[in-house]
Chain A
């Protein structure tokens, strides 16, 4: 009987923690995320990741011929931290966080660019 109680207790705490964290994230102010990292492979968009200040992610992308890249999203920027390109150019590019910047890793046919909420611009409106 006691063992069953313990298990139920752990499940109960698990549910509570799960519940608490999902409702917390649900309340994140989405309007703060104004930039999105667009990851394309062979010209096709494979991932769109918001670059909000709270985002902290690491992604491994594997392509044809077992080429790979490890990408991190941190502090509102995106960077390639590891890859199998010959001179690590993509890693040397460092972190990007503006809409006109691009990181490319050719062996893996990967490009990472940044889009503003509106599309491609740093501006919200145009006066003409």
Chain B
């Protein structure tokens, strides 16, 4: 019967379309975004990755989070049994590869900055208590006592034994470099799991991988230091970038109308006062960005730009108290100032 023939034809065509549609779908490899938010390293952390493989994406996120917790467990001085806490308690000891690498890198930046970046600043940080619920303005005597203990030159490393020895009564605080290192390690985890597109945000320390799913570059905002969180004064674009910002708005306390921010100048013993309210470092690795953003903040514009210009593959943005913006010379297409209440100084 003719009716049967038509029905058969319709069914066959529908089937072939469905099969065609299904295979087209697979070939296009549906790319989805996978996210994870959690708290660690004393801050909020966000992972965001694009992948066409749900299983691999979830493994990547899970391993990434595990890596963060693992590093915190080894480095945090807020954890009694961490390697660094034990090292501080005993004045010397064997450490893992990771801690050895981070301490070694920190000492390298200490030398490069003539001691402005110094992980032995721990007693001074503890004294001020900025970022805790008990900040205070220490007396001159207390500050001097703490300053005496700050000297990166008396930290000794024995590479083959993986041993670190501190000077008398010295203690380490890796807070100014650990987040940067962690972002590098999480990136490694993602790449190992085949992730080619995504970003890692460790409390404002940003690391991007590849480009977005549609091939366009990631747009990274630079926090406006005098506005609310997520208000930006400019946009950084690029591929595979680490962007780290240090600012006077992150951790501070105020007393009698004066703000005391958490980045300390080891020479004065007081919060750094180089006229800078934020610095942003663009580099390939987070560990460098983290160390250098603190260093640049303490050094100020003139010395800071000089230092960054002397380094390969690093760019910087400085924002001063009078709302001027200074950048290193090679920054060109990477950064665009979008807020016109700030003035770009050429």
Binding site for B on A (CB under 8 A): 1, 5, 8-9, 12, 15-16, 19-20, 23-24, 26-27, 29, 31-32, 34, 121-128
A23 vs chain B, min Cβ distance (A): 4
Which residue of the partner chain B has the closest CB to A22?
A: B21
CA distance A128 to B317 in the complex (A): 12
Which residues 208-227 of B sit at the A interface, judged by CB distance below 8 A? Answer: 208, 212-214, 218-223
Interface size class of B (residues with CB under 8 A): 35 or more
A84 vs chain B, min Cβ distance (A): 36
**Contact present for B220 and A15 (CB under 8 Å):** no
Which residue of the partner chain B has the closest CB to A31?
A: B213
Assuming the contacts A5-B6, A128-B229, asked whether A31 and B245 have C-beta atoms less than 8 A apart, the reply is no
CA distance A30 to B277 in the complex (A): 41
9 extra A-B contacts, CB within 8 A, seeds A27-B21, A29-B31, A127-B205:
A12-B10, A26-B21, A31-B214, A123-B232, A124-B212, A125-B48, A126-B204, A126-B229, A127-B206
**Contact present for A122 and B244 (CB under 8 Å):** no
**Contact present for B221 and A127 (CB under 8 Å):** yes
CA distance A123 to B222 in the complex (A): 9
Which residue of the partner chain A has the closest CB to B222?
A: A127
Q: Is B9 an interface residue (CB 8 A)?
A: yes
Which residue of the partner chain A has the closest CB to B208?
A: A125
With a cutoff of 8 Å between Cβ atoms, the chain A residues found around residue B17 in the complex are: 16, 19-20, 23
Partner of B21, one of A9, A15, A23, A32: A23
With a cutoff of 8 Å between Cβ atoms, the chain B residues found around residue A20 in the complex are: 17
Partner of A123, one of B28, B214, B235, B245: B235
Partner of B220, one of A9, A29, A31, A124: A124
**Contact present for A126 and B14 (CB under 8 Å):** no
**Contact present for A15 and B14 (CB under 8 Å):** yes
A-B contact pairs, 24 of them (CB 8 A): A5-B2, A5-B6, A8-B2, A8-B6, A12-B6, A16-B13, A23-B17, A27-B25, A29-B28, A31-B50, A121-B232, A123-B219, A124-B218, A125-B48, A125-B221, A126-B206, A126-B222, A126-B229, A127-B236, A127-B244, A127-B245, A128-B204, A128-B229, A128-B249
Which residues 237-296 of B sit at the A interface, judged by CB distance below 8 A? Answer: 243-245, 247, 249-250, 280
With a cutoff of 8 Å between Cβ atoms, the chain A residues found around residue B18 in the complex are: 19, 23
With a cutoff of 8 Å between Cβ atoms, the chain A residues found around residue B214 in the complex are: 29, 31-32, 34
**Contact present for B223 and A128 (CB under 8 Å):** yes
Assuming the contacts A24-B21, A31-B31, A31-B214, asked whether A125 and B220 have C-beta atoms less than 8 A apart, the reply is yes
Which residue of the partner chain B has the closest CB to A8?
A: B6
Mark contacts of B1-27 with chain A using CB atoms, 8 A cut-off: 1 yes-contact digit, 0 otherwise: 011001001100110011011001100
Mark contacts of B42-62 with chain A using CB atoms, 8 A cut-off: 1 yes-contact digit, 0 otherwise: 000010101000000000000
**Contact present for A31 and B14 (CB under 8 Å):** no
With a cutoff of 8 Å between Cβ atoms, the chain B residues found around residue A126 in the complex are: 204, 206, 220-223, 229-230, 232
Which residue of the partner chain A has the closest CB to B338?
A: A122
With a cutoff of 8 Å between Cβ atoms, the chain A residues found around residue B232 in the complex are: 121, 123, 126
A78 vs chain B, min Cβ distance (A): 20
Assuming the contacts A27-B25, A32-B214, asked whether A125 and B14 have C-beta atoms less than 8 A apart, the reply is no
**For the complex of A and B, 9 pairs with smallest distance between CB atoms:** A23-B21, A128-B223, A123-B221, A128-B204, A126-B221, A127-B243, A123-B219, A127-B206, A12-B10
Which residues 160-188 of B sit at the A interface, judged by CB distance below 8 A? Answer: none
With a cutoff of 8 Å between Cβ atoms, the chain A residues found around residue B249 in the complex are: 128
With a cutoff of 8 Å between Cβ atoms, the chain A residues found around residue B334 in the complex are: none
**Contact present for B250 and A128 (CB under 8 Å):** yes
Which residue of the partner chain A has the closest CB to B244?
A: A127
A25 vs chain B, min Cβ distance (A): 10
A127 vs chain B, min Cβ distance (A): 4
Which residues 298-320 of B sit at the A interface, judged by CB distance below 8 A? Answer: none
A28 vs chain B, min Cβ distance (A): 9
Q: Is B32 an interface residue (CB 8 A)?
A: yes
A32 vs chain B, min Cβ distance (A): 5
